[in-house]
Amino acid sequence: MLSQSCIYLCLLLSGFFGILVTGEFYSSIDKMEILGEMEETLVEATHIYLVQQQQQFQLLSSFVDRIRREHASASEMHEQNEEYLEQPLQAFRLIKRLVIDWKDLNHLLAMNELKANYRNLLDEMDKEVEVLPNLEELQGAIKGLVRLQDVYNLTASDLADGNLNGKKTDSALNWRDCFEIGVQLYEMAEYKRALEWLVLADKLLDEVQGDDTLKMATEVYEYLALTYIELGEKDTAQETLTKLLTWNSAHPTQHIQAYLDHRMPKCPIKKEDFEYFSDYVRLCQGKRLPEIKTNQSSPRCYLDSNRHAYFKLSPLKVEQVNLDPDINIYYGVLNDNQIKSILRLSDELDSFRSTHRKYVISDMRISQQVWLNYSSPIMRTYRQLVGAISGFNMTNVEIMQLANYGIGGHYEPHIDYMGSPLPPYYAKRGDRISTSMIYLSDVQQGGYTVFPTQNVFVKPVKGSMILWYNQLRSLNPDHRTLHAGCAVIEGIKRIGNIWIHSSYQEFRRPCTLNSEE
């Protein structure tokens, strides 16, 4: 029968199983918070197990001490020419111990019920394969860190020291963390990045004291040698292996070297940066590109109380960030309580990995999303606000897509319009004439929205909405609206997208005969 503490342990973990959800973790910070709760549960369960083990150890120790005292007493009596076992009660106790106590003790040690119960509970968690992170999750998280390096010019040392884009954090990585990143990057054929992390692991290992440091260094040097080989630096690889042999002549390094001498190196993955990558990176860092002066009027900020009756008493705060094409930010569209109401609705739904064109899942877009309809009061209110701000007919509006970004979460440069030919389900609705994107959180670092061809970057401000037109007035696609969501360095990025379609907008945004307008 399980003890009361074992039953509590069962309830603790079984209760956790009830709150777990399926899907990826690394692509959504909200899902990562579930992993944090999971680890807290494991810590508590392990603590309970250790307390039980200590109690059992104290019980066994007390039993052994008591028997030792019995034997010490018997020895003293023998020295005094008194026989311990001649006393009937002592004789009974000896027989009782051998028949009952020692048998119970042997059974307890053989069965080790506490250990078995704890292991069974952990096995139960392992069976929940859909809710536990796996190697793919680990590699996804590492890709996110590398993405931060690429976009924000961060070194492995920057990240390991917790220096995120000039901001010092409390987080730091030890040599084992850096080594694991290097190993996984090697397995993903990202050899240049793997080398950077493995070299850092070796450097950090120099600061570690202990008898096992040589064994640890051996692991690092093995992967360093393999990485040098894949990068075509055979001489450096051989020097690394030779150093290993000086530490341990019996190490299988000699066989590794013989193997490497007779194999062709794998081809590293060649990363081809997308068009406008350099402009995208610079804007993500909050740096504008050199601009050519024109005779155009400059964007401005103003209060608008004439756009709609909604804003008569509380004028709309407008910032023009670009004039041609129009890209505007509207501040204070939703307040904190309204945003909380929207997020509560999203929490009731199971999020899933975001996709891009033709429902493709790839590293181009790292986030998770849900779709929210307009059946709730808050969503109806927000739809009316979008209609009032945009001036569009809201008959053909898509339900809102709410996205949450994960580790290094981003969305590479893309366009929102579908283009010709339209998918069958868009045929009567028309293409996406505009995008209304509201920021549902502030972001501590990173996560800008950028327009690489327009030299525009927008920092997320909670409650503000950014709006742009995806089509010209002629209803031809406006390629200038190419945009991206930059990688999140620190914090949580939540956005809500509403796409309005071109049908029923003839009198709201009249077309022109000029296909270029």
In this prediction, residue 85 has a pLDDT band, given cuts at 50, 70 and 90, of: low
The pLDDT value given to residue 248: 65
Q: List the chain domain ranges.
A: 29-128, 135-261, 297-501
Average pLDDT for the chain: 85
pTM: 0.81
Most confident option among 276-290, 381-395, 498-512: 381-395
> Can you give the length of the chain in residues?
517
Asked if the model's pLDDT at residue 394 lies above 90, the reply is yes
Q: Long-range contacts for 127-135 (Cβ within 8 Å, ≥24 apart)?
A: 128/17, 128/20, 130/22, 130/23, 131/17, 131/20, 131/21, 131/22, 133/25, 133/26, 133/35
Residue 16 has pLDDT above 50, yes or no: no
pLDDT at 191 over 70: yes
pLDDT above 70: residue 260 = no
Q: Report the CATH fold assignment for 297-501.
A: Jelly Rolls (2.60.120)
Confidence (pLDDT) at 287 = 92
Tell me the one-letter amino acid at 428. Answer: K
Note the pLDDT of residue 91.
Answer: 76
- pLDDT band for 434, please (50, 70, 90 cuts): very high
The pLDDT score that the predictor gives to residue 29 is: 85
Q: What is the pLDDT of residues 295-304, one digit of tens each?
A: 566 789 999 9
Question: Which tens digit of pLDDT belongs to each residue from 165-176?
Answer: 888 888 889 999
Average pLDDT over residues 18-24: 52
Cα gap 286→458, rounded to integer Å: 9
**Which range has the worst mean pLDDT, 263-277, 372-386, 418-432, 470-484?**
263-277
DSSP string over 313-353: SS-EEEEEEEETTEEEEEETSS-HHHHHHHHHHHHTS--EE
Q: Directed axis angle between helix 102-111 and helix 113-127, to 10°?
A: 20
- Residue 243's nearest CA partner among 266, 263, 225 is 225
Q: In which band, very low, low, confident or very high, does the pLDDT at 19 lie, cut at 50, 70 and 90?
A: very low
Residue 256 reports pLDDT greater than 70: no
pLDDT at 291 over 80: no
Res. 35 pLDDT band, cuts 50 70 90: confident
- Residues sharing a CB contact under 8 Å with residue 334, sequence separation 6 or more, in sequence order: 342, 382, 385, 438, 440, 463, 465
In CATH, the number for domain 135-261 is 1.25.40.10
